[in-house]
């Protein structure tokens, strides 16, 4: 039996804490019960807070801890739930846990984080030079705070064996199933997913990304370019013309744009066009050919390839996933 400790703290997501508690408690139990076999508990799960006292989660739900962190030294797996409150303030309150997390990892404990819980894991320094992921909406903040971490925001899960991270939302479900698979095998993980009716997702967050605008910088010339592109990104224009239009030669423009936004001008324009295409797919019935033209491309085949590269889904699959009309259309066909 593997021992899991869930780190509980104020303003954490109670749904993840209780969800993880339920899922691991039922692994080896629900499937066996359904098939009239003796249940076999695979995990011993405890809730721990810094001082052993109850915590009050983001939605004001109070959760009682089984112990203080210092008493959970026999854990095989430590699970860090998402930070639901102010990240800086929460990490400051949890600073006493940092050294304990390092010591637990050095003793062979596997540490995993869900969503913005990756901030606390990264604070330990254990992720330096390693891959990690977090909620896509916090990737810029994460990159700025932890530049030594190899952030992979497009990935739903990053797996460094002893250090795992899950992306945003319900990615903790996939992370939990992966842990079950690591410790008890593929068949047990599949049985758990089937028993609890959990659909394992594709390993990417990219369909959920939205363009942040990347305007958190002080280069006024590049800000002017971005403002112009907000209204004219679908129009035919070359990168050299775009720079010259704002008084910058090609080389200087590309260098300053990359430094300010983190993207090349071409990649930035592509992102704006893909973002508009996503909105059109979500809200309307326009054909892929019509959308291709509306966002500034001429060849729908090339557009489809670019869309899939950027989002991980074809335009048709994106519409089916995120458009209410797409779901109704599928229902009628079925």
Q: What is the CATH number of the domain that holds 197?
A: 3.40.50.880
Looking at the fold, whether 271 and 170 belong to one and the same domain comes out as no
- Number of other residues whose CB lies within 10 A of the CB of residue 25: 16
What pLDDT shows up at residue 332? 38
For residue 215, tell me if it sits in a domain: no
Give tens-digit pLDDT for 27-42: 999 999 999 999 999 9
What pLDDT shows up at residue 200? 66
Overall domain count for the chain:
2
Looking at the fold, whether 115 and 239 belong to one and the same domain comes out as no
99 close to 93: Cβ distance less than 8 angstroms: no
- Mean pLDDT in the chain? 89
Low-confidence stretches of the chain (pLDDT beneath 50): 325-334
Looking at the fold, whether 68 and 148 belong to one and the same domain comes out as yes
Percent of the residues in the chain that have a pLDDT greater than 70, as a whole number:
91
For residue 80, tell me if it sits in a domain: yes
Looking at the fold, whether 183 and 48 belong to one and the same domain comes out as yes
Its domain, for residue 269, covers 220-333
Give tens-digit pLDDT for 174-202: 999 989 988 998 889 889 989 998 876 65
Secondary structure of the chain in HEC code, one letter for each residue? CEEEEEECCCCECHHHHHHHHHHHHHCCCHHHHHCCCCCCCCEEEEEEECCCCCEECCCCCEECCCEEHHHCCCCCEEEECCECCCHHHHHHHCHHHHHHHHHHHHCCCEEEEEHHHHHHHHHCCCCECCEECCCHHHHHHHHHHCCCEEECCCCCEEECCCEEEECCCCHHHHHHHHHHHHHHCHHHHHHHHHHCCCCCCCCCCHHHCCCCCCCCCCCHHHHHHHHHHHHHCCCCCCHHHHHHHCCCCHHHHHHHHHHHHCCCHHHHHHHHHHHHHHHHHHHCCCCHHHHHHHCCCCCHHHHHHHHHHHHCCCHHHHHHHHCHHHHHHHHHHC
What pLDDT shows up at residue 218? 82
Q: What is the pTM of this model?
A: 0.68
Looking at the fold, whether 132 and 230 belong to one and the same domain comes out as no
User: Tokens representing 307?
Assistant: 């869309």
Looking at the fold, whether 50 and 148 belong to one and the same domain comes out as yes
What pLDDT shows up at residue 206? 64
62-63/55-56 β-pairing: antiparallel
Looking at the fold, whether 120 and 199 belong to one and the same domain comes out as yes
- Here the CATH number for the domain that contains residue 262 is 1.10.10.60
What pLDDT shows up at residue 5? 97
- Residue at which a domain ends, from 181, 208, 235: 208
For residue 231, tell me if it sits in a domain: yes
221 close to 248: Cβ distance less than 8 angstroms: yes
What pLDDT shows up at residue 21? 96
């Amino acid at each position: 039996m593997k021992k899991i400790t869930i780190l509980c703290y104020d303003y954490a997501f109670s749904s993840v804490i209780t969800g993880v508690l339920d899922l691991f408690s039922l692994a080896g139990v629900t499937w066996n019960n359904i098939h009239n076999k003796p249940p076999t508990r695979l995990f011993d799960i405890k809730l721990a807070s810094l001082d052993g006292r109850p915590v009050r989660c983001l939605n004001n739900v109070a959760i009682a801890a089984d112990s203080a962190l210092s008493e959970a030294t026999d854990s095989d797996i430590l699970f860090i739930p998402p930070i639901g409150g102010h990240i800086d303030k929460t990490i400051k309150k949890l600073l006493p846990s940092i050294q304990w997390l390092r010591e637990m990892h050095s003793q062979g404990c596997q540490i995993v984080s869900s969503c913005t819980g990756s901030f606390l894991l990264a604070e330990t320094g254990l992720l330096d030079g390693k891959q990690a992921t977090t909620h896509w909406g916090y990737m810029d903040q994460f990159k700025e705070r932890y530049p030594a971490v190899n952030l992979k925001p497009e990935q739903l899960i990053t797996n460094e064996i002893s250090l795992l991270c899950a992306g945003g939302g319900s990615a903790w479900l996939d992370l939990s199933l992966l842990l079950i698979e690591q410790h008890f095998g593929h068949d047990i993980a599949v049985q758990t997913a089937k028993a609890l009716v959990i659909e394992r997702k594709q390993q990417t967050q990219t369909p959920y990304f939205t363009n942040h605008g990347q305007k958190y910088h002080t280069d006024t010339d590049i800000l002017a370019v971005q403002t112009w592109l907000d209204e004219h990104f679908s129009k035919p224009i070359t990168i050299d013309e775009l720079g010259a239009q704002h008084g910058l030669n090609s080389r200087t423009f590309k260098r300053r744009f990359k430094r300010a936004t983190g993207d090349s001008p071409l990649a930035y324009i592509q992102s704006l066009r893909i973002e508009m295409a996503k909105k059109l797919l979500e809200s309307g019935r326009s054909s892929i050919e019509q959308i291709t033209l509306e966002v500034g491309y001429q060849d729908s085949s090339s557009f489809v390839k670019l869309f899939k590269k950027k989002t991980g889904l074809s335009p048709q699959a994106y519409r089916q996933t995120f458009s209410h009309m797409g779901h109704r259309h599928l229902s009628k066909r079925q």
